[in-house]
Amino acid sequence: MNDRSPAPSTPQIDAQRLWQSLMDLARIGATPKGGVRRIALTDEDRAGRDLVARWFRDAGMDVRVDEVGNVFARRAGTDPAARAVATGSHIDTQPSGGKFDGNFGVLAGLEVVRTLNDHGIRTRAPIEVAFWTNEEGTRFTPVMMGSGAFAGVFDAERIRAERDLAGLTVGAELERIGYRGAQRCGEVPGGMFAAYFEAHIEQGPVLEARGLPIGVVRGALGQQWYDVTVTGMDAHAGPTPMELRRDAMLGCARMVEAVNRIALAEAPDGRGTVGFVQVLPNSRNVVPGEVRFSVDLRHPAQAGLDRMDAAMRGEFAALAAALGLQLAIEPVVKFDPCAFDGDCVDAVRRAAESLGLACMDIVSGAGHDAVYVARVAPTGMIFVPCKDGISHNEIEDALPEHIAAGANVLLRAMLEMAR
């Protein structure tokens, strides 16, 4: 047995306790359709934070908060020089969010600690559980705000100055809810994490479609977002002949089709989406003179993103010229492709196999806090199926046995690293 192997007697988590914790947290911000609305730094977020922090303390963990509201709870190890093995996710939600997105990862980490306590297991390295501020980016931008500040991607002072639509700043709201801490972003007692794991629902349909309980996440797709403006000429829908129109909506429609075609050319992992469209003047009897729309391109390799970017720009320019339209493309967001640490990925795979759980390697199509943490610490992720692949929705759901399986894989992977 190598030094990192968990003992053969490694216990399993208390599946019922984990499920009940998820349901108890889901009561804070509960919606009529069975979902959760717990937007970052609102009163509901404060109540959720207070509950989870209390659970941390009840489990004997020391809790600390950093300057952008990230919360960390530590269970001491036997070696004072060892760096912590960490896990976590987020507890803020979308406006019409579900019970599991983010919350599962945090409470699975708590359940790992509770299980170690129940069985009197001491680890050489400390165990940490974190929840990160404003992962969803619903009220404040950018998304994955807290983990990005922790990893040095965003300046903490700039983050605290960000405002919501009502003009309220992150800093003021952190103060109001009592979660502006003293710890500097990125500081970890004893040094940066030796490893970080994040358990999460897949938020897609692949695992469920294949009947597999565990996804071993190798990394996350890179993302490039754009704002596109197509300008033609407003014209009366009746008197203006078809061949004389400069129809910005026609240009947009053909560009949307081009985005789909470009992504399909990068199968199986290319993604292309137009999710926002604004038509001006938006009148049923006026040929649209201007259309603004978004483009979201994703790929696991930067070379693939570069190909998609070049293809998009080339096709959009040709379509605009053919229709007599003006075109402006503005890049607005870029997330580099992320490859997780090989040792952490292997630890997740070994944990699943040791439990007799069927698994597959998978790439995350969504951004997660783990993507930013991976810039400063060895990182891996665990996916479990969600019903119909639906997330960011009040009907988001998962099976208790899949939730338990993911938490047991997390327990074994963390023990392998922490021992």
Helices (H), 38-135: 43-58, 103-118
Assess whether 382 and 312 both reside in one domain. Answer: no
With b for 16 or more beta-carbon neighbours within 10 A and e for fewer, the 346-360 pattern comes to ebbbbbbebbebebe
pLDDT value of residue 419: 87
Q: What is the pLDDT of residue 9?
A: 67
Whether 321 and 382 map to the same domain: the answer is no
Taking CA 263 as the corner, what is the angle to CA 258 and CA 267, rounded to the nearest 5 degrees? 145
What's the whole-model pTM score? Answer: 0.88
Give start and end residues of each alpha helix (H) in 83-237: 103-118, 145-150, 156-161, 170-177, 206-210
Residues 204 and 227 in one domain: no
Q: What is the pLDDT of residue 198?
A: 98
Last residue of a domain, one of 302, 335, 368: 335
Report the domain count for the chain: 2
Last residue of a domain, one of 299, 314, 335: 335
Residue from 382, 418, 368 nearest 116 by CA: 418
pLDDT attached to residue 1: 35
**Boundaries of domain holding 59:** 15-220+337-418
Q: How far is CA 327 from the centre of its chain?
A: 32
| Residue 74 DSSP class | E
Block means of pLDDT (10 residues each) for the chain, 419 residues, are 52 97 98 96 98 98 98 97 97 97 98 98 98 96 95 97 96 98 96 98 96 97 96 97 97 98 95 96 98 96 97 98 98 91 98 98 93 97 97 97 98 96
Residue-wise DSSP of 258-309: HHHHHHHTTTTT-EEE---EEEES--TTEE-SEEEEEEEEEESSHHHHHHHH
In a domain, 280, yes or no: yes
Which amino acid is located at 225 in the chain?
A: W
pLDDT of res. 7: 47
CA 314, CA 384: separation in Å to the nearest integer?
39
- Final residue of a domain: which of 320, 335, 350? 335
